[in-house]
């Protein structure tokens, strides 16, 4: 399968389960979709009626304990994050998601059953080029003691998440990784939703968690884990938070080229950061090709660490030294051209840098001072050649 082509599913596959908040049974059917369709939810009613809605940021109407999509007609479907995480994490670009209930089934609390369904449906390539939303400059949001930031990162999508709970069985955990289908399957897809036993009555009285149980949630009291089978990962809680991030970031409408960092975050913060990104038209652009595929060709290996309650846990992060060295080299060439030959040499250097993907290298924001000034000079001129494809509301199609 060509990684630069859009993908969809070959056939329809259905899964059945209960909604974690509604407690109602629901059948979800994944199916193929046309080029550039993105992820489209179709809600079928008992009377045979259907409503459909594209899974994008402006259709988010609630982020309390789950992400809910809707429009002027009211809520359409809730708890969409796990199935969206599975689709985006497994490299699917276009799919229909049909549901016959008010929310996506929780299954076992993770995305594992959705990944299995995607495997059965089979991911296939389409004829069009894959498009990405490239983050061009940092965008951050602070909510109390929670902080979220999207920043440039040309190597794909990277998630860096830290959680900090008073419950000592969870405590402070952090995890970071560059997301690929293989790593999503191995490191994130089986991480389950979690909660505290002391919160159950409050949630029930508010109409939440009516379908939650030890079969679909990791539950802690103040002294122990209540699930007899234990944890699937030593740091399962923070991995599940990254799973939620994947689902919420899928609402960008296209795969992201950027790094997302979250501290004590949740659905509300994730949505706020994505909304802030699209509100700043200079902070992103749509591109058709991921220039950072060069990195894989260089045979570099990802290494890194995760931290769970003060213990080291398996994790991975990118080796970015090549990007630093390469962007420094091209910045130096531009500085030399400007000082030695004036405009003609500068134009020549800019041409070379455009071919070399200089703008993507500058996206990492790892320099300051004169080098950064040169970079922004090139960035500004290169911007005249960009074509940004957006819809009438200024958001990605």
**Nearest CA-CA partner of 91 in 196, 204, 9, 202:** 9
Tokens 């080299």 -> residue: 329
- 308 DSSP β-pair partners: 173, 311
Name the token pair of 353: 């840098």
CA distance 131 to 155: 14
Query: What are the residue numbers of the active site?
Result: 267
Residues 220-252 as b/e (b if ≥16 CB within 10 A, e otherwise) read: beeeebebeeebbbbbbbbbbbbbbbbbbbbbb
Q: Which pair of tokens denotes residue 300? A: 């570099």
Longest dimension (CA), the chain: 75
Q: Are strands 304-308 and 172-178 parallel, antiparallel or unpaired?
A: antiparallel
**From CA 397, how far away is CA 394, in angstroms rounded?**
9
Could you give the CA distance from residue 283 to residue 292 in angstroms, rounded to a whole number?
19
């Amino acid at each position: 399968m060509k990684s630069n082509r859009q993908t969809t599913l070959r056939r329809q596959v259905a899964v059945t389960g209960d909604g974690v908040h509604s407690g109602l049974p629901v059948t979800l059917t994944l199916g193929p979709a046309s080029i550039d369709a993105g992820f489209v939810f179709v809600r079928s009613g008992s009377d045979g009626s259907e409503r459909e809605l594209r899974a994008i940021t402006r259709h988010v109407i609630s982020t309390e304990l789950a992400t809910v999509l809707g429009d002027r007609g009211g809520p359409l479907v809730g708890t969409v994050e796990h199935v969206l995480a599975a689709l985006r994490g497994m490299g699917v670009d276009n799919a229909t998601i049909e549901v016959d209930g008010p929310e996506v089934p929780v299954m076992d609390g993770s995305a594992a059953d959705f990944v299995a369904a995607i495997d059965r449906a089979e991911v296939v390539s389409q004829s069009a080029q894959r498009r990405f939303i490239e983050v061009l400059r940092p965008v951050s949001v602070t909510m109390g003691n929670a902080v979220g930031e999207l920043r440039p990162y040309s190597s794909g999508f990277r998630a860096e998440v830290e959680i900090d709970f008073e419950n000592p069985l969870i405590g402070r955990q952090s995890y970071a990784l560059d997301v690929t289908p293989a790593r999503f399957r191995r490191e994130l897809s089986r991480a389950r939703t979690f909660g505290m036993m002391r919160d159950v009555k409050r949630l029930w009285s508010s109409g939440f968690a009516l379908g939650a149980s030890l079969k679909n949630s990791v539950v802690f009291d103040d002294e122990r884990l209540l699930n007899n089978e234990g944890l699937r990962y030593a740091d399962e809680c923070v991995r599940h938070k990254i799973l939620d991030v994947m689902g919420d970031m899928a609402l960008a409408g296209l795969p992201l080229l950027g790094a997302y960092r979250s501290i004590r975050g949740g659905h509300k913060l994730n949505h706020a950061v994505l909304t802030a990104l699209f509100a700043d038209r200079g902070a992103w652009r749509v591109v058709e090709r991921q220039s950072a595929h060069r990195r894989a060709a260089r045979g570099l290996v990802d290494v890194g660490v995760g931290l769970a309650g003060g213990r080291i846990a398996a994790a991975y992060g990118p080796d970015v030294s090549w990007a630093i060295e390469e962007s420094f080299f091209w910045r130096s060439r531009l500085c030399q051209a400007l000082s030695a030959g004036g405009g003609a040499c500068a134009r020549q250097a800019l041409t070379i840098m455009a071919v070399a993907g200089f703008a993507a290298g500058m996206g990492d924001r790892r320099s300051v001072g004169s080098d950064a000034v040169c970079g922004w000079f090139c960035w500004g001129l290169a911007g005249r050649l960009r074509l940004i494809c957006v819809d009438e509301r200024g958001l990605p199609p």
